[in-house]
Amino acid sequence: MMIKSVLFDLDDTLYNSTALSESARKSALKAMVNEGLDIDLKKGYEDLIKIVKRYGSNYPEHFNRFLEEKLGYIDYKLLASGVIAYHNTKFAYIRPFDDTVPTLIELVKRKKKLGIVTNGVSIKQWEKILRLGLEHFFECVVISSEIGYEKPSKEIYRIAIEKLNISPEEVLMVDNKVEDLKGAEEMGMRTVLMARVKDAEYTPKIKKLSEILSLID
For residue 120, the domain's CATH number is 3.40.50.1000
pLDDT at 58: 84
Residue 170 sits in the same domain as residue 101: yes
Residue 71 sits in the same domain as residue 158: no
Is 52 within 8 Å of 22 (Cβ atoms)?
no
User: Among 41, 68, 93, where does a domain finish?
Assistant: 93
| Nearest to 142, CA basis, from 167, 168, 172, 119 | 119
Per-residue model confidence as pLDDT tens digits over 125-166: 999 999 999 999 999 999 999 999 999 999 999 999 999 999
C-alpha to C-alpha distance for 163 and 157, rounded to whole angstroms: 10
Q: Give residue 178's domain range.
A: 5-16+97-216
Confidence of residue 216 (pLDDT cuts 50, 70, 90): confident
Residue 28 sits in the same domain as residue 84: yes
Overall average pLDDT of the 108-122 stretch? 96
Confidence of residue 83 (pLDDT cuts 50, 70, 90): very high
Residue 134 sits in the same domain as residue 32: no
Confidence of residue 184 (pLDDT cuts 50, 70, 90): very high
CATH code of the domain containing 53: 1.10.150.520
Please count the structural domains in the chain.
2
Residue 68 sits in the same domain as residue 174: no
Residue 116 sits in the same domain as residue 74: no
pLDDT at 57: 87
- Packing angle of the helix pair 17-34, 41-55 (nearest 10 deg): 130
pLDDT at 9: 98
Confidence of residue 18 (pLDDT cuts 50, 70, 90): very high
| Nearest to 138, CA basis, from 105, 168, 166 | 105
53 pLDDT more than 90: yes
Residue 77 sits in the same domain as residue 123: no
Residue 76 sits in the same domain as residue 125: no
Overall average pLDDT of the 63-74 stretch? 97
Residue 174 sits in the same domain as residue 83: no
Residue 126 sits in the same domain as residue 86: no
pLDDT at 155: 95
User: Among 36, 69, 93, where does a domain finish?
Assistant: 93
Residue 169 sits in the same domain as residue 179: yes
User: Among 47, 66, 93, where does a domain finish?
Assistant: 93
C-alpha to C-alpha distance for 121 and 152, rounded to whole angstroms: 16
Is 117 within 8 Å of 8 (Cβ atoms)?
yes
Residue 113 sits in the same domain as residue 211: yes
217 pLDDT more than 90: no
For 176, what's the count of Cα atoms within 13 Å in the CB-facing half-sphere? Answer: 20
Is 96 within 8 Å of 11 (Cβ atoms)?
no
40 pLDDT more than 90: yes
Helix (H) or strand (E) segment spanning residue 26:
helix 17-34
